Structure 1
């Protein structure tokens, strides 16, 4: 790897690490924000949902815009917007300011993330070199989320506003470095190319409404009207989008890209993989803090071992991929995840950290083996002018999986608890909710196992050279 390529990869990894840290830090700081600004539970929940809605709803559009207008230009512009609105969040004195800041920051991440992955895929040749770069990138993203919990706990102890100010400083450094180290796109398309406005509007609306419906699934026992209305409107817009794309001379999303079975299977796998983990993390946070009485910082430290993938992903996973192929490595990751979630089903009111350690170790290994290879499978073999689209698809799957996993676990836990209030009843409800991550990873294992026999050699066998 040349010095220029290594420098560019460092900037892109810094950006995806920043995105992961930014998302995780806020979760730890929420109690402090509520106490300082006097926000209602609904507004506090909306602050979290605003980011997810924008990120998931605009990801595909962000990837396609990167293909059309230049990946470098889109990446640096989005990073600038991310910087500015993260700072706005730090100065917020009202709930609406936080909501605005988080929505626009999520939108910026939706354009920055697929552009960054597409820059990697366009700068490294297919094979071991690109695989290693993508695995480093994916491992950094996962580590950002894991370490963000701890960093958020430390910054919140100083003051919750530093959860917003710290990303400003880091993103400013990345922006300066990116302007120098990221080369102009070789295949950048001129802006005067025809743009599918109708497709962009219907796609964005469909994604935003679908994301909104997902975030409302947690209200499983009440107020289903808005959830059903959002889901129905999203379905209508999806149909309209498909019709528009089929008849467009310059479609925003070429529907033929979905003929790739490897792309479809890897995106379904990505959705289930992250959905299970985010649901598990939600359960563990409630279990440790509300039932065992741990602090938020102690909880974040308990989960930090899952961040071992930051070390293992770039060192161990490339060797396993070259030896066994992406498909087999992903299957190993899913199998470890199933075991990790299943072991946690025995959680009790007298559990110690030692009792939960095997699950966290297994999940750290699972992320090391699963996250990066899923990303490689989803983008391998895709034409250069559609790398942004493919990157947007897989990142959308990761984000939608997170929203779906959280909402499904919350809904199942609420239904299982009913009117129960005792610690034993709450514990049993959490155990029931934990069946969602177990079931999700089992389904993902079946999908990716079937894919081993159906997809191309890029997914199933080690690559030559």
Structure 2
């Protein structure tokens, strides 16, 4: 049987049920990837008590996944182009499922962290492969816009669901936070090969594989987070901290030099000529620093300071998860009417306000009067700003660079998450010896400031999109104009 005949049998036919099944499988895995970012939050104290983890190990359970995910996303996108989208999606999901199972079985803290890091690397290969399968399955226009909207909503839903499920699963056993992702990933594997069309054989010269660029970028980010994590323990002026920061900067500079000199770079730096795209990635980093860093601190506060059980802490987050979903559903209609800038600024200010409202929380904070309003305000701002900078990050980009643009914005969010947890943990440990309500307040202020930085970056940089290359590239349109593809509330 020829490759063309095989593709015809396995590819989704027309706009009907087969395409929807492809989208369902891809969204199921994205939901799992996003959920895994937040799933550990409520389970951390139980893990610490059961396995005797120290503060550094506890922090790396969260940031190890996020940093590995963000650091390898660009390499994952490149690998999908070179070796096949379906192939990379399938085998990366195999790794994701395997390390989820192993993570639920290990009894050593550092082995647990290794499984989280490996899972983050696997997720980094899954996400860009899944996104590129969508863009090649659904034709450009309203059909693809609807698919992308569903894909984005799935990511937001997965993150919110992780906060809730974490409490429910941990009330039974924290190990279920590893075993449940294994089951879901296994179900995805059972359907992926029969639903997703096989990769087409590439003819002609394949582009180069920029392994050196990937090593320098990932190494630079990992050392930066390591320096922020260890500084409260060893000192900001210590040789370890200073050396880590210096080597981190040198590696990131080397990455830029390598990209400028390579014929087939990991990242075509010309894409950053778009002010909107560059601003969107800056906003993505600080948005994640604020919200993921806040999550890490808030869940420790609920369980350590207020003595909430794991189940109670997870249920306490439900109103925020609901408000995120409400915002993500309403935001496209607002963006279609007034553009990206205003929703992004307002969303980030609301996100920051929700974090700063936690400064009212004390040793016996009332949930209805103090915590609930903060959670709702944070969720509304979180969902609104999330959709705004994600649209900005891929709008106005030439078709042949859409995968790169998507990988960049995903990398920004994942790297920001790792940095936010590192900053929050550093402030929490260094303020008043890490004890007392004042330490939590200082940490809330530290991560809340990132939302204000994001609001400022959005106000300055999120105008209408500017094309970054290719035939027919257009200049930047008026700032209030909504990006192409955002119409009638669809993204």
- Pair 448,49 (structure 1): closer, same or farther in 2 beyond 3 Å: closer
Distance in 1 between residues matched to 2:396 and 2:201, nearest whole Å: 16
Distance in 2 between residues matched to 1:201 and 1:354, nearest whole Å: 48
Structure 1 residues 175-225: Cα deviation after superposition (integer angstroms, max 9, x where no partner): 223223333567978784332333333333333333433444554746843
With normalisation by structure 1, the TM-score equals: 0.88
For the 8 Å contact 1:75–1:112, the answer to whether it is kept is: yes
- Pair 411,194 (structure 1): closer, same or farther in 2 beyond 3 Å: closer
- Size of the aligned set, in residue pairs, is 460
**Could you tell me which of 367, 370, 378 is aligned with 2:382?**
367
The farther-off stretch of 140-149 and 392-401 is 140-149
SS in 2 for 1:316: helix
Distance in 2 between residues matched to 1:239 and 1:220, nearest whole Å: 26
Distance in 1 between residues matched to 2:141 and 2:107, nearest whole Å: 50
For the 8 Å contact 2:395–2:465, the answer to whether it is kept is: no
**Could you tell me which of 281, 288, 302 is aligned with 1:274?**
288
- Pair 59,347 (structure 1): closer, same or farther in 2 beyond 3 Å: same
Shift of 1:170: 0.5
The 5-angstrom pairing of residues 331-342 of structure 1 reads 331-342=345-356
Shift of 1:369: 1.3
Name the structure 1 match of 2:114.
100
Give yes or no for the alignment of 1:242 onto 2:252: no
Name the structure 1 match of 2:125.
111
Name the structure 1 match of 2:461.
451
- Pair 37,451 (structure 1): closer, same or farther in 2 beyond 3 Å: closer
Q: C-alpha root-mean-square deviation of aligned residues, in Å?
A: 3.0
More helix by share: 1
Distance in 1 between residues matched to 2:112 and 2:478, nearest whole Å: 43
For the 8 Å contact 2:276–2:393, the answer to whether it is kept is: yes
Distance in 2 between residues matched to 1:408 and 1:282, nearest whole Å: 10
Shift of 1:276: 0.9
With normalisation by structure 2, the TM-score equals: 0.84
- Pair 103,404 (structure 1): closer, same or farther in 2 beyond 3 Å: closer
Any gaps of 5 or more consecutive residues in structure 1? none
Distance in 2 between residues matched to 1:275 and 1:386, nearest whole Å: 26
Distance in 2 between residues matched to 1:189 and 1:461, nearest whole Å: 41
Distance in 2 between residues matched to 1:39 and 1:191, nearest whole Å: 50
The farther-off stretch of 7-16 and 47-56 is 47-56
For the 8 Å contact 2:90–2:193, the answer to whether it is kept is: yes
SS in 1 for 2:317: helix
For the 8 Å contact 1:196–1:252, the answer to whether it is kept is: yes
The farther-off stretch of 304-313 and 367-376 is 304-313
- Pair 219,182 (structure 1): closer, same or farther in 2 beyond 3 Å: farther
Give yes or no for the alignment of 1:136 onto 2:150: yes
Name the structure 2 match of 1:18.
32
Distance in 1 between residues matched to 2:108 and 2:117, nearest whole Å: 15
Name the structure 2 match of 1:52.
66
Name the structure 2 match of 1:344.
358
Any gaps of 5 or more consecutive residues in structure 2? 1-14, 467-476
Shift of 1:444: 0.9
Distance in 1 between residues matched to 2:416 and 2:257, nearest whole Å: 26
**Could you tell me which of 72, 77, 82 is aligned with 1:68?**
82
The farther-off stretch of 185-194 and 153-162 is 185-194
Name the structure 1 match of 2:442.
432
Distance in 1 between residues matched to 2:31 and 2:338, nearest whole Å: 28
- Pair 207,438 (structure 1): closer, same or farther in 2 beyond 3 Å: closer
Shift of 1:249: 1.8
- Pair 373,188 (structure 1): closer, same or farther in 2 beyond 3 Å: farther
Name the structure 1 match of 2:94.
80
Distance in 1 between residues matched to 2:341 and 2:141, nearest whole Å: 15
Distance in 2 between residues matched to 1:185 and 1:428, nearest whole Å: 55
The farther-off stretch of 186-195 and 109-118 is 186-195
Shift of 1:34: 4.1
**Could you tell me which of 415, 426, 438 is aligned with 1:411?**
426
Name the structure 2 match of 1:316.
330
Name the structure 1 match of 2:240.
226
Structure 1 residues 278-334: Cα deviation after superposition (integer angstroms, max 9, x where no partner): 222233223322322222221221112221256435632322232222333322311
- Pair 342,165 (structure 1): closer, same or farther in 2 beyond 3 Å: closer
- Pair 159,299 (structure 1): closer, same or farther in 2 beyond 3 Å: closer
Name the structure 2 match of 1:398.
413
Shift of 1:131: 4.4
Give yes or no for the alignment of 1:152 onto 2:166: yes
Structure 1 residues 20-69: Cα deviation after superposition (integer angstroms, max 9, x where no partner): 32233333333443444444554444444432342232122112222333
